[in-house]
Each structure stands twice: as structure tokens, then as C-alpha cells.
Amino acid sequence: MSDGAVLHVKGRVLAGPDDVRDELWVVGGRVSYDRPAGARDITTVTGWALPGLVDAHCHVGLDAHGPVDAETAEKQALTDREAGTLLIRDAGSPSDTRWIDERDDLPKIIRAGRHIARTRRYIRNYAWEIEPDDLVAYVAQEARRGDGWVKLVGDWIDRDLGDLAPCWPREAVEAAIAEAHRLGARVTAHCFAENSLRDLVEAGIDCIEHATGLTEDLIPLFAERGVAIVPTLVNIATFPRLADGGEQKFPRWSAHMRRLHERRYDTVRAAYDAGIPVFVGTDAGGSLAHGLVAEEVAELVTAGIPPVAALSATSWGARAWLGRPGLEEGAPADLVVYEADPRADVRVLAGPRRVVLNGRVVE
């Protein structure tokens, strides 16, 4: 498409759960619902259109061993783009990926800075590893470096206990979250276990990643405080393999991980039923491949979340939560077109017909 070209998307435009249009126009890289007068160079795409998908837990610039070079990070971002993911909340990365912001052919990224973990209580080469007395200072640092988010490691295996355990004392997270909020940043935390959650939520945290430890007694607290969860079910699917690997050395931890895995669908469905906001995230970029957003949406449906709600968790609802536009008038034209209605079968998301980023059809 030339710079003066107009893109016409025709069929069904799913601008919101209750907002279905017959067509939209892309003029100057932005969405319009009015046919442009005098347009001649028009490209028409037909199908079912959604706002560009959101992966709200993704790590561009990271692999299983730590930070990666720019070429690898570019491949990761391109893989996500090809899957229809056009907005990423990068939930922790030691790599500087600001150069991606200069590329109009790569997904938009909202960064949470680098993970902040307790000393020797996380994956090597991923996080700032510190003690509680330094938590406020590091949260302030990452709040200034990020794009409105900070990422804590809320729990991890304690090798002395042989099981998952909280990483931070209550007073440390209270002070750290207060400082992040003072600086205009929201805070999220990696949490697998049950006993790390209450202190974080009562301290004012905004989101919990994975949330496999969410229990019946904690669900009302999450709902009351409006704390979102990003379940990353495609990641939780790896728990049995991890448990097998740790069985000999940490049998208590292995049994715990299996229990969390076994109840994963019940946990997510109970959270949704209680009104807890649930969003799509894949945890790509650590040990998981990129481009798994369609699989995660399908997992949410398997857990019992209605298809339209699962779509919202990666489109309209997720974009609103992150403060980014969808397909409203004048918004940047980031959208994905499918052959069939994804509300009828979310598996359609695995095969985008066309991806449009910043108003240009991605070839």
C-alpha cells in the first residue's frame, strides 16, 4: 500500500462486545467509519476484524538464559505480530528494547522494567536480586524506566523449606507499592503459591501473574480490590514437567506444583465468576515460544470462561485495562482479520487472514 492508499475492511468489524460494524476505513494509518471522499487507491480486505490482540504477559528480549541480542528480540516480536499480537505488556525483561518503539512494523510494547526479586530466589540473569531494605529504591528505579508498570517476584522456591514461599515481608511491599503508585506506576507480581497473595493484595497491588494459588477465601478480597489476574495457562501446563524434574531434590515443592496444576481451570473459572478481571498472557520469552496468544485464549475457554469474555481478555477489555485504544474512530489502525467469527469458535484466532499494523497490511 502506498502512503496515500486507503484500506477498506469489509464484513464484520468487532469493535466491542456489543459494537459490531459492517466496515471500517483506514485513512492515514487511522480508523474511520466514514468513507473518505474521493478515495481512489483502495485496497479491500474481507472477513471478521478484531482490535490487534494483546499479550499481557510476554517477554521480548529474554530467553531461558537471560537477555538476548537485538536480532533475536526482533524475531520474537515478529513471531508475536504474525500471531496477531499487536500490543504487548512486557512483564519484565533485562534487555533494553526501546529501539522497538522506533519501528512501525513491530508490536507496541508497554514495559514493566526489569523483574525485582529476592536474592537467589528467581531465575538466574533475569532480575535485580535484592534484599527488602532496597525494595523501595529499586521499585522507584523501575517505575521510572518502565511504561507505567513494575514487576515483582512475589514468591519462589525457598530451598531451605523445600517449597514455594513468599519473597517479601508485608511492610516492604506496602512501602514499595505505595512508592510505585506515587510515581504513577501500577505493580504486578509473579505468584504461584497461596501464601504470598493476601499481603500483596492488602498492600494495594494492581495485578497478579499466574495466580495459581488463588483460593476460595482470597477470591472475595481480589474482587473487592479489583485486582486483575493474568493466568498464563499455557505456562501452567508445564508444571507437571517441572515437578518431575524437581521430584528427587524438592518432593514437597513438586507435589505442590502438581496440585496447583490440577486445579488450574477451577481456579480461573472461580475468579471469573466472582468478577475478578482476567486477561490473556502467554509468558512467552522465558522457556516458552512466542506467538501463543491463540492457545491461551483457547485455554481460558477450556477453563469455562465464555468465548466473548475470553476474546475481550485479549482485545477490547485488555486494551482498555492497559489504557490503549481499540477500533474507535481516529485510533491507530491495529487490527487482525479472520475468515470466520471468532465469537463462535476462538480457535479461529490461530489463523489470521490479515494483520494490519499502524494502518499497513503486514505481508
pLDDT in tens, 303-362: 999 999 999 999 999 999 999 999 999 999 999 999 999 999 999 999 999 999 999 999
Would you state the cell numbers that stand for residue 199, as one nine-digit string? 499481603
Question: In which band, very low, low, confident or very high, does the pLDDT at 3 lie, cut at 50, 70 and 90?
Answer: low
pLDDT at 314: 98
**pLDDT above 60 for 2:** no
pLDDT band at 37 (very low <50, low <70, confident <90, very high): confident
Q: Kindly tell me the sign of the dihedral angle through the C-alpha atoms of 297, 358, 321, 125.
A: positive
- Mean pLDDT, to the nearest integer, of 237-250? 97
Query: Domain 6-50+326-361: which topology?
Result: Urease, subunit C; domain 1 (2.30.40)
Q: Which range, of 35-49, 276-290, 327-341, averages the lowest pLDDT?
A: 35-49
Phi-psi group of 349: left, alpha or beta (phi > 0 → left; psi -120 to 50 → alpha; rest → beta): alpha
| Dist. CA 191–CA 214, nearest whole Å | 9
**How is residue 245 written as a grid cell?**
524434574
> What is the model's pLDDT at position 4?
64
How far the first Cα of the chain sits from its last, in Å, is 10
User: For the residues of 308-332, what is the DSSP string, one character each?
Assistant: HHHHHTTSHHHHHHTT---S-TTSB
Cα 199 from chain centre: 23
Sheet strand arrangement including 53-58? 53-58, 85-90, 108-111
Residue 271 CA to residue 258 CA, distance in Å, equals 20
Residues 157, 167: Cα–Cα separation, whole Å: 9
Query: What DSSP line would sit under 93-141, residue for residue?
Result: -SS--GGGGG-TTS-EEEE--S-EEETT-S-TTTSEEE-GGGHHHHHHH
Q: With a cut of 60, say whether residue 1 has pLDDT above it.
A: no
Alpha carbon separation from 316 to 35, 325, 333 (Å, rounded): 24, 8, 14
Distance CA 225, CA 136 (A): 22
pLDDT digits (tens, 9 = 90+) for 44-88: 999 999 999 999 999 999 999 999 999 999 999 999 999 999 999
Tabulate helix, strand, coil % of the chain (nearest 5): 35, 25, 40
Q: What CATH number should be reported for the domain whose range is 53-321?
A: 3.20.20.140
Region 173-201: what's the mean pLDDT? Answer: 98
Question: How high does pLDDT run on average in the chain?
Answer: 96
Burial of 34 (0-12, 13-18, 19+ CB in 10 A): exposed
Residue ranges of the chain assigned to CATH 2.30.40.10? 6-50+326-361
